[in-house]
Amino acid sequence: MDQFPISSADALFAIEAVREASLLARRIQREMVTGTLTKDDRSPVTVADFAVQAVIARRLAEQLPGATLIGEENADALRLEEGVAILDQITEFVRSSISDATPEEVCNLIDRGAGEPPETYWTLDPIDGTKGFLRREQYAVALALVRNGKVELGVLGCPELAPKNVGIAGQSSDADGCICVASRDQGAWCQPLTAKPGWQKLTASPHTQSSSARILRSVEKSHTNVDEISQLASKLGTTEPPVGMDSQAKYAVLAAGGGDIMLRLLSPSRPDYREKIWDQAAGSIVIEEAGGRITDLDGKSLDFSHGRTLAKNRGVVATNGHLHDAVLSALRQLGA
């Protein structure tokens, strides 16, 4: 077994913060997500989003004082009269990790993530994969450290992705879950979420033939262009049907060799959409450090130095590295 080389204070903080937050998210999901949810009932994921962001913000303040957090959520709605009930729920869950938390502090902690990014910052997606969370399928807690527009460290907590199946493309759920970490020039690694045995090194697949490539895509059609993915598969001669997975869990699967191509194409309904930094930061370095490659649709590196979005990038293409040029060429031919 390869020796785990990642030991910086930043990495040790991020691993344990994401582990704690992932276990909290799992608890909220199991207590609040039931078979009787209505179509528009997103309250469980709302509670989890806010609770996870509050806990990680508190841990960051305790262990790396002065560090900046850029998170998906802000507490504006929780400070309104109609937000009191859900704030009380959030606070109760946060108290399982932070016993002295008050509703006011919870709001303040959440709002630590509401600013604009400086040159060095942490970025957090507290619950990446809303629909997966509600379906009890794939979702992730994603935390990354960015310096000068480049991701230096990323951690993914995947409570429903089995460590033994992290290299298998599909919806595999497991009681252990997994945690993946990557640090620049130190590789990408995985271990069970609830136990702490040795770390397994992640390596992207060696496949060089596009005809046998396995394509990973978002489940949500609003997040990509499903028709164009089908056209791309035809152009590449790929016979395997695309695998739909929620969240950056699919980035871990690709990094482990369980897929070869991952796409975030521009939806026809949102052609000007630009990815949020927290939706890509942690997963991007996990793929790169596993030997894969990730760019935008034009082949440009992802640039995390333009505020809260990837303003200078269009969409995302990630591959095992070997197939990247072929995918970009096919996308150009399709006019993507």
Residue 125 known to be catalytic:
no
Number of residues in the chain: 336
The alpha-carbon radius of gyration of the chain (Å, integer) is: 19
C-beta separation of 129 from 246 below 8 A: yes
Of these residues, 123, 130, 203, 319, which one is catalytic? 130
Of these residues, 46, 49, 128, 246, which one is catalytic? 49
Residue 49 known to be catalytic:
yes
Closest among 280, 259, 284 to 182, alpha carbons compared: 284
| Distance of alpha carbon 298 from alpha carbon 216, whole angstroms | 19
| Distance of alpha carbon 265 from alpha carbon 277, whole angstroms | 16
C-beta separation of 264 from 319 below 8 A: no
Q: Are strands 178-183 and 120-128 parallel, antiparallel or unpaired?
A: unpaired
Contacts of 138 (CB under 8 A, 6+ apart): 129, 132, 158, 160, 161, 171, 245, 246, 247, 249, 250
| Distance of alpha carbon 123 from alpha carbon 151, whole angstroms | 10
Q: Are strands 316-319 and 178-183 parallel, antiparallel or unpaired?
A: unpaired
Residue 261's H or E segment, with its range, is: strand 261-264
**Which residues are marked as active site?**
49, 130
